[in-house]
Structure 1
Amino acid sequence: MYLSTAAAHPAASIEQQVFRIISKRKAIRASRVRKTASLARDLRFDTVDVVDIILELERSFHIVIPDEVPLYTVGDFVRFVREHAAA
């Protein structure tokens, strides 16, 4: 399992880590994950997959992602983590 704190990594690295966490959920190559990809439509993730991704992001970046935050695309996850991870 790849765990790291955001404080030690620049924004580009945050994006790479988010891509890696998302891609590992369904064994998709991280290089094939795009910020515009919809988790449900493009990547075929179900609710359990999304919850697992959220939990992993929370652990990795020491953040809390509230249930009401709209997260539909890979870019939504990257944006949220960048905005909320410790600088």
Structure 2
Amino acid sequence: MFTVATSTAPTPSKAIEQQVLRIISKRKDIKAVRLRRTASLSRDLRFDTVDVVDIILELERNFHITVPDEVPFNTVGDFVRYVTAHAA
């Protein structure tokens, strides 16, 4: 009889998403589970430019990526998509 091993570890992209959400949530002390990918950074979360820049710097440090200045980040999902696409 063969058994199939199942893993409870999150997929790499899910793990990246969780880490991105944790970094964003720390900025304004918001619970990560309450962040929606569609949440507007300025309208829903009340993040200003300094908040966004600080998040970008933290993401660059944590994921060893470089985020060009011209990349637009308007929602939580924008951060998740960019980091998932560019993290090694």
Q: State the distance in 2 between where 1:31 and 1:78 align.
A: 14
Which has the bigger relative contact order, CA under 8 A and spacing at least 6? 1
| 4+ residue segments displaced more than 3 Å | none
State the match for 1:33 in structure 2.
Answer: 35
Unaligned runs of 5+ in 2: 1-10
Structure 2 residue identity aligned to 1:20: R
Quote the sequence identity (%): 76
State the match for 1:14 in structure 2.
Answer: 16
TM-score (norm 1): 0.87
TM-score (norm 2): 0.86
Unaligned runs of 5+ in 1: 1-8
Q: State the distance in 1 between where 2:17 and 2:36 align.
A: 10
Query: 1:17: how far off?
Result: 0.4
- SS for the counterpart of 2:69 is coil
> 1:46 aligned to 23, 42, 48, which one?
48
Report the count of equivalent residues: 78
2:83 is the counterpart of 1:81: yes
